[in-house]
Structure 1
């Protein structure tokens, strides 16, 4: 008999809706299927949906449409390693060609397509550094290098007519992730302008103007310490800033209307999203009256700045991507507060989930940290609880659909998710708060969250578990080593367990991130890296540890996990490692269901004082 909680993992759901840049209003819909992501083409003008069942190769989660809407671009790598080449694939899957055959394999840190030309730009990372390349999407011309730097360079964008490109650069401030935006001529590679707000305040590109021949760029700036929209004209070196001094917290720009008069943005305060629209002609800012939930999710160190985001449709309509912890992503069309309706493209199933509550917790030094939490339905605390930590660290847990959260709650286990220091959308100071002592501030935040959950009568102090992926997996292992009496078990997915051993096996982009985290190369900060590594504390671990690790992971490589496993066993600890074939990201509902079943089995064993095997 199928367990009731399986419903959260057996219902296919959209992961993203990404509008094409070309004429018309066509979008790629990325759907999480049983065996991984699959694509659907949505033509909003014709109101048609076309499954792209022939496209099965490449990183489909980050795929984008070409200008003509006849191909998709995606990174093809070795079993999820994130190192490979960008390919163009026809919508029927029959034609597929490598757009960069002469380049060495690279990691992708940006991809964008021109709206009126068969051109795209990609931001690549190899052993030689970071580079921006222009591609001919029909393969008629060889790739052209537009920009090169040894320092972190991300998020290349291309203008509507393909004549200009911009990229987020750190040449002015090496080793610190506070970007400037550099604009180049795509015909010559000549630098046409660079916008920086100084060494403290980063500037990030969002998109070029949708207007043909319009060289302006929509940016996100942080002169106040919080994100704000800005429109910059590099030709005239003029700018329009939406300062919004009455708002506390980030105001994150997402998109620019086709007529270039409005900017869509989301104000984030204590983790709560409020969608707003800025009128560039009048300078006014209005809030849209919408259901509670999340309307975008930031990304980091990937092909796009957001994993999914609300945006404009053709004709200036506001296309809202909306989800909550208990409701999968759906598309809402906004035509005024009395006319918000759901698109049939992403029907929202009623899965009878539990809403989560947002609370603020004070950390050891008085810093406010935001926490999502819920008790199982019809339950009085305290009960066993799982504390979840996102990766990154420059990511964030938003109010978006989360099958594992719902599975825990359906099985009588309370759930909480912490946005520790290092999380984005809480301002620059909070985002950078995890440096330079990696792990220290995050553990203070974890400890504060746990004490709050216990004091509020939510969590049973004897039955607390910690879990997370990537950086969240690292923090899970670090917590059971440095806070050994606090947790009854750790459930870590693709964690960093040994920072020093992991460096050599990482891809070049991740090595640059490593150096940014610690502010130096490994040979110059050995003591700091050792202090930050969970492997340094295996003799103090008393709780059992489970690790799910990928064979082809180039972010948190398998070798350093093997070292941790051996060290913890040698110290007398309990560790179980389950290996899977693939890369850093878990794909497919079937695999996710299997991992959740495994975690429920282990937590049940701990609650009944049985060993982990």
Structure 2
């Protein structure tokens, strides 16, 4: 196919296509480090072919694999003293389980909090004494609960509510606990409460009250100093996310007043004197240091692209995980060089991303485009829709889109209404006409891509995972003439059944988005459900789903597939033994290969 890359071979690389190498090449996450033992770090890697947690002793250079499960492990945290690795143990990706821990240097795992039944995790705070934990939990029966657990004692419940809540942070001296809650019933906009360890309240901050619009808050972290009652939080008072410092003892709020477009997040420098600022705007990001005493902002040089994580070290250096659409991710440091470079096969690069701005019914839509080098349209084109919906695509490295490009496709990713990074109004625009609003933006970009000569209207693939998979099934039904093939990965297919089967925190989100339950607003669930439009589907449809998925459960997908079967519609279904996606590299490669083969057959490529 025109634009496809050759399959070269070098002595250190097995013979395989570049798209597969991008999945197999060892990669690492940004290392987390223990506050009181900064030489002890924890990171995630796929080095064995499955994403697992790794312990790294920076003083000796020693690394070891800390977890080893068939379906992988990514949810872990170091205790502040660096003595323990806590990790969440669920069953085959169902996200329902318990916290376990093991010594940093190695040893048997043990139940971290005896006496707590399995649940969905809702935050975790570990005290410096190594004996105290604040554990957030969520279950369908109990709603949200938070427990204080001390070694050798039974855990004590200090918070409970039917609506979603979770642990935000534990103060440096362990005397204060910050939680995010949605007791007001809006799962998209949290309020904050600070508790003492006995559960008594210290302070509340709620931006959902007293105004015409509900605004959200988020916990970014307590100041890392004993006795310091300053809490760094994120707010939306000026129509975007930005940080302020809230002294929970006095109630004083210090707004940084940063004049940066787009969303702004922050974390503390280890001595509490400044903040590490992460600024995201129009699908790129950059770093700054903010000096609290001087109220001065200083840019930290980083290459153009996306910083997907950053942390300030005790020596004042900053480590950050960076990539661009063309260049694979790397953990870099402002002190120079790559911090953590896994051995083995190196990840092949891809092509740069191009920006397009398209006028849509709700405002200008930002689209990111990749296409095979040297090609001109019209090209077979993949519209790859991101999940979330409160997420966004960025100029960052992604093996999936790069694989489609290798096979001769143009790939267009769209930050439709509901995406983050373009202001609160853009993110909050979804309510009540869920799915249909996003598809209006997708349709506008599709029409632009065809009219511009980039996309071949007879060879258009609509695809995505999670919320993107939901939009794919909704799109091939609600816009049947627009798409040639649909490839839906872990999708919502039958919104009513999905609501009844999904985890409680997602039920709360759906009630917020749609304005109630399926029984209270049946017409909205019907209008937003792919099942409603299944009889209008004309395009061949491919669906992949995890049988243990608590977010997009398998029963509602089976309901949709039965309707396709009854019509004799062209479709294929692939079910695999995991949850909301797989952490096994071979499985990821298999899934993408099947998706591309399905599309290629039906586009006659």
TM-score range, shorter-chain basis? over 0.9
Distance 1:202 1:463 in 2: 41
1:96 is matched with 109
Q: How does 1:458-497 map to 2 (within 5 A)?
A: 458-497=454-493
State the distance in 2 between where 1:356 and 1:60 align.
31
Other-structure match for 1:435: 431
State yes or no: 1:274 paired with 2:286: yes
Once the two structures are TM-superposed, the CA of residue 154 in structure 1 deviates from its matched residue by: 2.9
The Cα shift of 1:350 comes to 5.4
After superposing the two structures, state which structure 1 stretch, 447-456 or 577-586, moved more: 447-456
8 Å CA contact 2:33–2:40 kept in 1: the answer is yes
Counterparts of 2:129 and 2:251, CA distance in 1:
24
Q: How does 1:246-395 map to 2 (within 5 A)?
A: 246-253=259-266, 255-296=267-308, 309-335=309-335, 340-345=336-341, 349=346, 351-365=348-362, 367-395=363-391
Change (3 A) 1:33 1:433: farther
Report the RMSD for the aligned CA atoms in angstroms: 2.1
Partner of 1:601: 597
Q: For residues 414-425 of structure 1, what are the structure 2 equivalents within 5 Å?
A: 414-425=410-421
> Normalized against structure 1, the TM-score is what?
0.91
Q: Is the 2:328–2:349 Cα contact (8 Å) retained in structure 1?
A: no
2:51 aligns with one of 29, 37, 42 = 37
The aligned runs of 1:125-164 (5 Å cut-off) are 125-126=138-139, 127-136=141-150, 139-164=151-176
Matching residue of 2:99: 86
Q: Describe how 1:218-229 pairs up with structure 2 within 5 A.
A: 218-229=232-243
Q: Would you say the 8 A contact 2:494–2:530 is kept in 1?
A: yes
Structure 2 CA distance for aligned equivalents of residues 58 and 567 of structure 1: 31
Which sits farther off after the overlay, 90-99 or 399-408? 90-99
Give the one of 183, 200, 205 matched to 1:195.
205
SS at match of 1:530: helix
Structure 1 residue 368, shift from structure 2 partner: 2.1
How many pairs are equivalent?
585
Contact 1:259 1:316 in 2 (8 A): no
Partner of 1:530: 526
Could you tell me how far apart the structure 1 residues matched to 2:487 and 2:324 are?
A: 24
Q: What is the aligned partner in structure 1 of residue 451 from structure 2?
A: 455
Alpha-carbon contact 2:50-2:72 (below 8 Å) kept: no
SS of equivalent to 1:295: strand
Structure 1 pair 421–481 and aligned structure 2 pair: CA distance change class (3 A): same
Deviates more, 1:425-434 or 1:111-120: 111-120
Report Cα offsets for 1:511-557 as digits up to 9, x if no partner: 22222221212210111111111111111100011111111111111
Question: In structure 1, what is the Cα distance between the partners aligned to 2:273 and 2:70?
Answer: 38
1:217-271 Cα distance to aligned partner (Å, 9 max, x none): 1111111011111111101111221122x32221122x21011111112222222
Residues 389-423 of structure 1, C-alpha deviation per residue, up to 9 Å, x if partnerless? 11111122222221111111111111121111111
CA separation of 1:54 and 1:521: change in aligned 2, threshold 3 A: closer
Distance 1:50 1:34, change over 3 A: closer
Alignment of 1:534-553 (within 5 A): 534-553=530-549
Q: Distance in 2 between matches of 1:261 and 1:492?
A: 47
Match of residue 585 from structure 1: 581
Residue 90 of structure 2 is matched in structure 1 by 77
Aligned-residue offset at 1:14: 1.4
CA contact (8 A) 2:72 2:583 kept: no
Structure 2, unaligned stretches of length 5 or more?
1-14
Alignment partner, residue 182 of structure 1? 193
Q: Provide closer, same or farther for how the CA distance between residues 380 and 525 of structure 1 changes in structure 2, counting only shifts above 3 A.
A: same
Distance, in Å, in 2 between the alignment partners of 1:166 and 1:180 is: 11
- The alpha-carbon distance between structure 1 residues 516 and 329, as it changes in their structure 2 partners (threshold 3 A), is same
CA distance 1:385–1:318, change in 2 (3 Å):
same
Q: Provide Cα deviations, 1:563-594, integer angstroms capped at 9, x if missing partner.
A: 00011221232121101001113212111111
Match of 1:207 among 208, 221, 246: 221
The whole-number CA distance in structure 1 between the counterparts of 2:449 and 2:125 is 43
Q: Residue 92 of structure 1: CA displacement? A: 5.8
Structure 2 CA distance for partners of 1:20 and 1:368, relative to 1, 3 Å: farther
Q: Is the 8 A contact 2:71 2:583 kept in 1?
A: no
Evaluate the alpha carbon distance shift between residue 113 and residue 537 of structure 1 in structure 2; reply closer, same or farther with a 3 A threshold. same
Matches within 5 A, 1:3-42: 3-33=17-47, 35-42=49-56
> Deviations along 1:127-153, whole A, 9 cap, x unmatched?
2111222234xx433222222121221
Distance, in Å, in 1 between the alignment partners of 2:481 and 2:54 is: 48
Structure 1 counterpart of 2:132 = 119
8 Å Cα contact 1:81-1:552 kept in structure 2: yes
Task: Give the 3-state SS of the residue equivalent to 1:343 in structure 2.
Answer: strand
Cα distance in 2 for residues equivalent to 1:64 and 1:144? 22
Contact residue 166 and residue 182 of structure 1 kept, 8 A: yes
